[in-house]
Structure 1
């Protein structure tokens, strides 16, 4: 298969499997100037699929950095109303949203934490309606990523510069099952396997999970009505979409106040254009009571102080260490990929769809059921080839779920 054929398959995947654009539907694409040629191909595929209108928002890393370096201090606590209104209209029109990421992991390194924190909080408040739509699968949405020079250099620093982007393209194609046969058919088979794993976990009805590994000893209680899900979801119109491409996870929500112990990260977390690494979180009755980091310590503190809910966990996700992305031994410095190479946990908001009837509950009702609500949702990687996970059944029986990083 030629490179151009792989590109065409990737664009088709994004349109037909990721966002699953329907005839007559509006598609909004958010991306960067590093993706122009590929984005044009996606737009063409979207119209071929029957899209009524495709709108593209291009951002640029250089100008994004210029904002943080030069804008007046009081501007970071504001957020453009028109951005929120554009997404609100998309939700009203039952449109689809696609993110095409190519961000530089070090884009905002050196920007004062106070600016990043103020910007995050302002965006979180302005985009509440959008966040509700995404967290409750009210619209089809998907995130994919393609190489940029800066990102490829970060991933493959030891390769000659002229080979870095090509190497990252090759790696990404493998993660999204492009290379042999029909990528759309390959994804259909892949999702069947993930659904089978989720069904198996849902049948167990575990009350707790116990994680142990070097630097980790964590117990997570699960609500009685928890649901294990995969990266495949459905809108109220019964349109299936895949939010993350690639995806290797099955995930659910914890009981908000039922997390105790400590957990350490196993891969760097890229947060707001900066890296947080070598960190350890300690929990008591769900809340983070201690957070330490060897790199990005101050940013970690701001991340878990964004609001009250950011001090709690909203998601736990299981990914075997032998997953294809992990087996590649590539550190992507991009959560979309790194979280699909490792068991991971998210601080911040829980997905209401992981709780029976959760999508019909108000924020107050979610909180009353022990489901975390927050303006944040940040995944970080905790899995390794040394992690064991035990599950506690309703009758108190303990059985292995993971041994040495893989399904027991």
Structure 2
């Protein structure tokens, strides 16, 4: 019997690579291109993307590898006071990519799920690498054309489909990725442009209402999220300061905005598990008062998430509110991917931490937007959770009910 580990489908990798380079980051001739990937499963797609980027005219492609097993050794042996140390050259690299107006493609999908499961959650929560605070700063300055794409691997597949043998689990994951990334379409790039047009139209209809707040109502959830005066919903395409249009997530099914971090009140219950730094956090329930988290509970991984929101004052406040309708392909698969990139596009979600300044029309509102070294999305929507718009005069209008725009 062969013990060779199954490998991802070569045709799928080539199609994903082309999608990441052209529909996602929109790599331009002469650009530097950075790829962020994990050792132990992302290598095949990283190499395919490098090839597609060079074919598109990239000047140089650099891969920033992250090894979860090396992080495990740090968590096991490092002194407590050293766990949150981040070498300055890691942040310098991101800042340099921004100054060079580079493209960045990040691969997602845990290659070694549960690798930190036997380690003290308090220690796991201290070491937040590979996340870097400089990433949010460069993104907010719109210096990078960037995207995040899923990378199929055996480790991730067995987390999503634990009852199947490795080869069958990988094939099932690949089949779902083909669907959610629209790789089953004759021209996936054109298909994403069409979907982007739909999402942007939804965002414009929301913006036309000039809402003051949005309330989420459902089982275990009653949360009111205030908006800033110039908050606007955006979707799909973004532009760099140099005018390069790119799609930050592939797939993407959301319309999102920047909330008022001082006006969030109520309780919200997560509807899907969250993978945070390699740890699964499930059954999340968060209570806000005056914009700040005053209680955070979870059935698993609570201590890890509590450590994340202790990073700085902004980590306990909201930086994003996103609405997702039932027409998106991610939710229609019925699969829980245990990966934020995909799961957040199956359900409406909120994010603790850093806000997106591009969602504010007026620079005068920029100082009021939340600032933090973290940005942690977790899913709070389902067909049973309604989104209700609230105008400045208190008038309420249903926005999303049973997954459908009203």
Matched residues in 2 for 1:185 and 1:293: separation?
A: 41
Aligned to 2:3: none
Residue 3 of structure 1: CA displacement? 5.2
CA contact (8 A) 1:226 1:354 kept: yes
1:11 and 2:10 matched? no
CA contact (8 A) 1:105 1:334 kept: no
- Within-5 A mapping of 1:119-130: 119-120=127-128, 127-130=132-135
Aligned to 1:132: 137
CA contact (8 A) 2:324 2:345 kept: yes
CA contact (8 A) 1:321 1:383 kept: no
Which piece of structure 1 moves more, 330-339 or 150-159?
A: 150-159
Residue 395 of structure 1: CA displacement? 4.1
Which piece of structure 1 moves more, 214-223 or 5-14?
A: 5-14
- Within-5 A mapping of 1:350-389: 350-358=355-363, 366-367=366-367, 370-389=368-387
1:212 and 2:210 matched? no
Residue 279 of structure 1: CA displacement? 1.9
Matched residues in 2 for 1:17 and 1:381: separation?
A: 25
- Within-5 A mapping of 1:59-70: 59-70=66-77
Aligned to 2:124: 116
Aligned to 1:247: 252
Please tell me the root mean square deviation across aligned C-alpha atoms, in Å. 1.9
- Within-5 A mapping of 1:238-387: 238-358=243-363, 366-367=366-367, 370-387=368-385
Aligned to 1:23: 29
Matched residues in 1 for 2:261 and 2:67: separation?
A: 38
1:89 to 93, 96, 110: 96
How many equivalent pairs are there?
Answer: 397
CA contact (8 A) 1:117 1:306 kept: no
CA contact (8 A) 2:66 2:130 kept: no
Residue 20 of structure 1: CA displacement? 1.0
Residue 146 of structure 1: CA displacement? 1.4
For structure 1, list consecutive stretches of 5 or more residues without a partner in the other structure: none
Deviations 1:83-123 (A, max 9, x none): 22222221121111111123234232232233233323x87
TM-score, L = length of structure 2: 0.93
Matched residues in 2 for 1:43 and 1:65: separation?
A: 28
Aligned to 1:76: 83
Matched residues in 2 for 1:80 and 1:375: separation?
A: 15
Matched residues in 1 for 2:235 and 2:210: separation?
A: 16
Aligned to 2:5: none
Matched residues in 1 for 2:99 and 2:210: separation?
A: 36
Residue 381 of structure 1: CA displacement? 0.4
Aligned to 1:45: 52
Q: Secondary structure at the match of 1:295?
A: coil
Residue 74 of structure 1: CA displacement? 3.9
Indicate how the Cα distance of structure 1 residues 397 and 134 shifts in structure 2: closer, same or farther if over 3 A, else same: same
TM-score, L = length of structure 1: 0.92
Aligned to 1:101: 108
Residue 231 of structure 1: CA displacement? 3.0
Matched residues in 2 for 1:284 and 1:74: separation?
A: 31
Q: Secondary structure at the match of 2:268?
A: strand
